[in-house]
Structure 1
Amino acid sequence: MPLREDLADDLAAAVRTPEIFAVYQPQVSLESGSIVAAEALCRWRHPQLGDIDPVTMIEVAERTGVIHELGRRMLDECLDTLRDWRGMGRAWAVTVNVSPAQFEDDSFGGHVADQFARRGFGPGSLVLELSHDSPSIDEGAALPQLRLLRDRGVEISLGDYGMDTVAPERLRRLPLTEVKIPGHLVRSVESGTRSSLHDEVERAHADGLRVVAEGIETLTHLDIAVQLGCDRAQGFLIREPDAEIVFP
């Protein structure tokens, strides 16, 4: 792999080409067992280097400012995919990851809200997931945009819930609708035993938040997610991320 600095120009060019694309990993309701949403994951297939590690790609994008164009490109692609799902009778939501850096652009929230409204989607069709770096988010710039999005029917999710990355009082200031528990925390819970993670799930529910368990790879992990009281599950047991958008 070349130095990350060497990838900057390539990424800036790639963002306008099919080298950048989305794969989708479904989420299931633990109550019904049905697919209710899918998370869009950005991928970069470099013509010479092959698949670039997503973490490296995002780090380069944030450092160079390409994250703004990349984020808008992914949003537009995912909203088009959501429209296609609706055309096939699939009433799923799509979750799109956003970087704290994207909120440095004062027009970001308005752009998302306008694109969402222009396509005529109902409330809850689009979920924006704040990354694990959300504690570094500039609340002065981000909160008005997040509140605008919530008012327009866009849901807000927070990743890495349960890792004490955000103080409870600050978490409550964010207009969240959902939190996601990382897979390694789910897998750390011994089946049939009470853990502090149960308390975190109960706290989220008390705040009116939906809870998604990520990284579900085995039936045991799925059972633990149910025992924790999670509302949804996502992971390789259910399906690996896939560029195809038609899930059974």
Structure 2
Amino acid sequence: MTTRDVVARDLPYAIAGDRLRIVFQPQIDLRTDRIVALEGLSRWTHETLGPIPPSEFVAVAESIGAIHDLGRFSLAECCRYGRTWHDRGEDLAIAVNVSPLQLATDAFFDDLERQIAVTGMPARNLILEVTEAQKLIDPDALATRLDIVREWGITVSIDDFGTGHSTLERAATLHAGELKLDRSMVAREDRRAIEAAVNAARLSGMRVVAEGVETAGQLDLVREAGCDRAQGYFIARPAPPRVLEEWMADRQRSSRSSTECLDLYDERGARWPSAK
């Protein structure tokens, strides 16, 4: 049995058995350096295989139909934590990854409305990041559905721009309010391509987030290119809520560089050995 077969066999049980966790990665406003959003990311440590990369188990979930249960788990956790932070006075947007396969069903929108009602998560603080792995089946019909949730105050974001199916046409069709530049574009440090994407997004009234910022030079580049927000390891690695809360509090108290705290933790929340 291959690793993929094991993942496909065990993933539904892991979701049902509450064995997955959510970690959050901050986004900063490039004009103020203030933390303005947190992206919720699913993590799974298999009992025998160890940590399974999200890129692997999400793809498997889409192929076996488990993406709906996985998405439901992620949405519920993100709304729950989002409401908690809102009640503590943290005005943070929470981004949730959503597969086109989820968006093709009425159940997703019913569950979205239910989670907002049950948790009390402010809809204006919720961002739906439409992932690019799957092609949209009926973009025009989906745009109509997304217009309804936009009226609730939810932001629609197009993830992984510059790869796969993610295009400006797709963003315009879905009336998206945000465009996330793929990490590969940032890694290439292609200023001309980044500026072109920013300018095109501006014409459609979209905010631009640069993902995968891993160096000070890349942070300066995306800021100078006109991006609105940035996310990546140089700013902060994904972390469990408890670790993230400690980091945000420490960052606010000391006004230190964001890399001085959260980069000492791995994605399981365990302390890394000091680089010194």
Compute the TM-score of the two structures, normalised by the length of structure 2.
0.82
Q: Tell me if 1:204 matches 2:201.
A: yes
Asked if structure 1 preserves the Cα contact closer than 8 Å seen for 2:211 and 2:232, the reply is yes
Asked if structure 2 preserves the Cα contact closer than 8 Å seen for 1:100 and 1:130, the reply is yes
**Aligned residue in 2 for 1:235:** 232
Name the % identity. 37
* 1:96-135 aligned within 5 A: 96-133=96-133, 135=135
Aligned partner of 1:243: which letter?
Answer: P
How far, CA to CA, are the matches of 1:106 and 1:140 in structure 2?
Answer: 15
**Aligned residue in 1 for 2:259:** none
Displacement of 1:134 in angstroms is 5.3
How far, CA to CA, are the matches of 2:144 and 2:108 in structure 1?
Answer: 11
How far, CA to CA, are the matches of 1:92 and 1:26 in structure 2?
Answer: 9
Aligned partner of 2:217: which letter?
Answer: T
SS in 1 for 2:224: helix
Asked if structure 2 preserves the Cα contact closer than 8 Å seen for 1:108 and 1:145, the reply is no
CA root-mean-square deviation? 2.0
How far, CA to CA, are the matches of 1:126 and 1:226 in structure 2?
Answer: 24
Q: 1:197 to 1:84 in 2, by over 3 A?
A: same
Asked if structure 2 preserves the Cα contact closer than 8 Å seen for 1:46 and 1:52, the reply is yes
How far, CA to CA, are the matches of 1:169 and 1:6 in structure 2?
Answer: 38
How far, CA to CA, are the matches of 1:78 and 1:168 in structure 2?
Answer: 27
Q: Tell me if 1:89 matches 2:117.
A: no
Unaligned runs of 5+ in 2: 249-276
**Aligned residue in 1 for 2:253:** none
Displacement of 1:214 in angstroms is 0.7
Moved more, 74-83 or 143-152: 143-152
List structure 1 runs of 4+ shifted beyond 6 angstroms.
none
* 1:1-248 aligned within 5 A: 2-133=2-133, 135-139=135-139, 142-163=142-163, 165-166=165-166, 168-189=168-189, 195-244=192-241, 245-246=244-245, 247-248=247-248
Displacement of 1:38 in angstroms is 0.6
Q: 1:201 to 1:164 in 2, by over 3 A?
A: farther
Unaligned runs of 5+ in 1: none
Asked if structure 2 preserves the Cα contact closer than 8 Å seen for 1:179 and 1:209, the reply is yes
Displacement of 1:123 in angstroms is 4.3
Aligned partner of 2:23: which letter?
Answer: V
Compute the TM-score of the two structures, normalised by the length of structure 1.
0.90
Asked if structure 1 preserves the Cα contact closer than 8 Å seen for 2:25 and 2:238, the reply is yes
Aligned partner of 1:198: which letter?
Answer: E
Aligned partner of 1:10: which letter?
Answer: D
Asked if structure 1 preserves the Cα contact closer than 8 Å seen for 2:161 and 2:167, the reply is no
Asked if structure 2 preserves the Cα contact closer than 8 Å seen for 1:213 and 1:225, the reply is yes
Total equivalences in the alignment: 245
Aligned partner of 1:231: which letter?
Answer: D
Q: 1:11 to 1:163 in 2, by over 3 A?
A: closer
Asked if structure 2 preserves the Cα contact closer than 8 Å seen for 1:162 and 1:197, the reply is no
SS in 1 for 2:43: strand
Q: 1:137 to 1:160 in 2, by over 3 A?
A: farther
How far, CA to CA, are the matches of 2:111 and 2:88 in structure 1?
Answer: 26
Q: 1:216 to 1:119 in 2, by over 3 A?
A: same
How far, CA to CA, are the matches of 2:86 and 2:225 in structure 1?
Answer: 32
Looking at both structures, which has the greater relative contact order when contacts are Cα pairs under 8 Å and sequence separation is at least 6? 1
How far, CA to CA, are the matches of 1:90 and 1:97 in structure 2?
Answer: 21
Displacement of 1:15 in angstroms is 0.2
Moved more, 80-89 or 68-77: 80-89
How far, CA to CA, are the matches of 2:122 and 2:89 in structure 1?
Answer: 14
Asked if structure 1 preserves the Cα contact closer than 8 Å seen for 2:116 and 2:123, the reply is no
Displacement of 1:161 in angstroms is 1.9
SS in 1 for 2:124: coil
Displacement of 1:17 in angstroms is 2.7
Moved more, 175-184 or 32-41: 175-184
